[in-house]
Amino acid sequence: MAANKGTKKVDFKIRCQTTWRDMVKYRWLYFLLIPGILFFAIFKYVPMFGLRIAFMDYNQYNPSASQWVGFEQFVKLFSKASFLPVLRNTVVISLLKLIIGFPIPIILALMMNEMRSLKFKKVSQTLLYLPHFISWVILAGIIMTLLDPDNGLITQLIYSLTGERVMVLTSTKWFVPMLIVTDIYKGMGWGTILYFTAISGIDPQLYEAASIDGAGKWKQMLNITLPSIVPTIVVCFIMNCGNILNAGFDQIFMLYTSHVYEVADIIDTYVYRMGLINSDYSFSTAAGMFKSVVAFILIVIVNNVAKKTGNEGLY
C-alpha cells in the first residue's frame, strides 16, 4: 500500500515535470492561443454568470431585489400541461430535419464533384447558396404568397393535379412537411460548402492510382471520396445532434398560426409567447438552460459513440 502510494507520488511528479517540459516546448503554440483565450474568456465566459438568473426571480431594473428561487423556474416550465406536447413537437421536427436534411448536402456535394465543367459547377454552386442569404422574414413572405389558399402558385398547381385545395399553412398534416422542405431548401446548398472543402483536401494521386487499377467513377466515389469526408460528416453530425432542441424559431415563428400549434409549437415559440405576457427573464433563461443541458448530454453521447466506432470525435 505504502509503496504503491509512493510510486504514485513519483508518477505524479514525473508527470508534472513532463507536462511542464511539454508546455515549455510548445510555448509558441500557447502564444498563438492568446487572442483566442482572451476572446473566449471575455466575450463568452464573463457573460455566462448570467446563467445564475435561471435560479433566481431576477429583477433587471433593481438586481439587488432579485431573489434566489432554486429550481422553481424549471419546475414551472415542466409542470405546464402544455410543455410535453411542445417538447415532443420540438424533437419530432428537428429529428425529421436531421434525418432528411442531413444527408442531402453530402449527396449534392458528391454529385457536384463529378461534374466536369468547372464553369457549370461554379454557377450552380453560387445559385444553390442563394436561399441562405434570404432571411426567414422574407422567405416566409414568399412561402405565404406561394401557398396562398386562393391564388398561390403552389396551391393552384396542387389543385390542377389533384383537384384538391390543400391549405398547407393551416393543415396539421402538411405544415410540418412544409417546414422540413423549406428548411432543406434554405440550407442544403450552403451545407455543401464544408464537404466541398473536405473533398478538395483529397490527394488526387489516390484517384489516379484507382483509375489505373481500373476503378470507375462510381467505385472511386465510394472508395475514395466518401471515406475521405467521413471525419467532416461525423463532426457535422455531432454538432447537429447538439441542436436537437433548436427546431428553428425564426422559421416557425414567421409561418405558424394557432391552426397548427398542435404540431408546430416548439419550446422557443412557446417560451416567446409566455414571455410576451410575463416578461419573465428568469423563466426564459431557465428554458434556454434546459435546452443547453440536453444538447450537452447529447453531444457527449454521440461523440462517444463516434469515438467507439473508430472516428475522430469533436474532442
Partner 1 sequence: MKKRMLALLLSGIMTVGMLAGCGGNGSGSGTGGQGGTPLAEEPIDVLNQSETMKMSVVCLQGYTQPDSQIQKWLEERYNLDITVLALPGWSDAVSKITLLMQDETQRPDIIWWWNMEQDYAKWVEAGLLVDVAPYMDRYTNMRDYYNSIDPGVLFYAVDNSGAIYRIPGDVAEPACETLWIRQDWLENLNLEVPKTLDELESVLYAFTNDDPDGDGQNNTYGLGGDGYDLRSFWPWIQGCGDGFGRDTFLKMDDGSYIYGPTTDDCKKWLGRVSKLYADGVITPNIVTDTDRDEEMANGGFGVTYSWVSWNNPSVGPMQSFYSTHPEAKWVPINMVAGDNGTPQDDPASVAAWCYFGITNTCSDPERAYAIWDDMATPENYIHRRFGVEGEHYKDNGDGTYEILVPSDGTQNTEQNIGLKLFQDLFARKDFCNIENTKSTSELFEKVAANSRIAYSHTVEKKNPEAYTVNNDKGTDIGDAMKEYVWGVISGSKSLDDWDAYVQQIESLGVQDIIDELTTIHGAQMKEYEEYMKNAK
Partner 2 sequence: MKDAKNHLTKVKRGKGEVVYSVFNYIFFTLLSIVMVYPFWHVIMMSLSSVEATARGGIFLWPQGFNFDTYAQVFKDPSLWTGYLTTVLVTISGTFLGTLFTATTAYPLSKKNLPFGKTMLLLVLFTMLFSGGMIPGYLLIKGLGLIDNRWALVLPGLVSAYNVIIMKSFFMTIPESLEESAKIDGATEVTIFWKIVLPLSKATIATIALFTAVGYWNDYFSSVLYINTKSKWALQAVLRYMLTNTNQAMQAAGVTVASATNVTAATIKSASVVIATVPILCVYPFVQKYFVKGVMIGGVKG
- x/- mask, partner 2, residues 219-238, rule CB under 8 A, reads ------------xx--x---
- Among residue numbers 69 through 88, which ones bind partner 2 (CB under 8 A)? none
Q: Does 44 bind partner 2 (CB under 8 A)?
A: yes
Residue 110 or 158 having the CB closest to partner 1: 158
What does DSSP assign to residue 51?
G
Taking CB under 8 A as the binding criterion, the range among 119-127, 189-197, 219-227, 261-269 that sits at the site for partner 1 is: 261-269
68 sits in which H/E element: strand 67-68
Q: Determine the Cα–Cα distance for residues 61 and 281; give it in Å rounded to an integer.
A: 11
Among 190, 207, 237, 261, the residue binding partner 1 under the rule CB under 8 A is 261
Q: Determine the Cα–Cα distance for residues 34 and 11; give it in Å rounded to an integer.
A: 30
Among 31, 49, 133, 218, the residue binding partner 1 under the rule CB under 8 A is 49
What does DSSP assign to residue 245?
T
Among 170, 220, 228, 311, the residue binding partner 1 under the rule CB under 8 A is 170
Which amino acid is located at 237 in the chain? Answer: F
Q: How far is the CB of 150 from partner 1 (least distance, A)?
A: 5
Among 48, 118, 161, 212, the residue binding partner 1 under the rule CB under 8 A is 48
Number of Cβ atoms within 10 Å of the Cβ of 3: 7
Residue 86 or 198 having the CB closest to partner 2: 198
Q: Determine the Cα–Cα distance for residues 265 and 85; give it in Å rounded to an integer.
A: 8
- Among residue numbers 189 through 248, which ones bind partner 1 (CB under 8 A)? none
Q: Does 278 bind partner 2 (CB under 8 A)?
A: no
Q: How far is the CB of 233 from partner 1 (least distance, A)?
A: 22
Q: Determine the Cα–Cα distance for residues 174 and 165; give it in Å rounded to an integer.
A: 12
Positive or negative CA dihedral for 191, 194, 197, 201? negative
Nearest one of 189, 93, 171, 185 to 142, comparing CA atoms:
185
* Alpha helices, H only, 26-135: 27-39, 72-79, 83-101, 103-113, 118-133
Residue 85 or 215 having the CB closest to partner 2: 215
Q: Does 273 bind partner 2 (CB under 8 A)?
A: no
Binding site for partner 1 (CB under 8 A): 45-46, 48-49, 51-52, 59-65, 80-82, 144, 148-150, 165, 167, 169-172, 257-259, 261-262, 265, 273-274, 276-280, 296, 300, 304
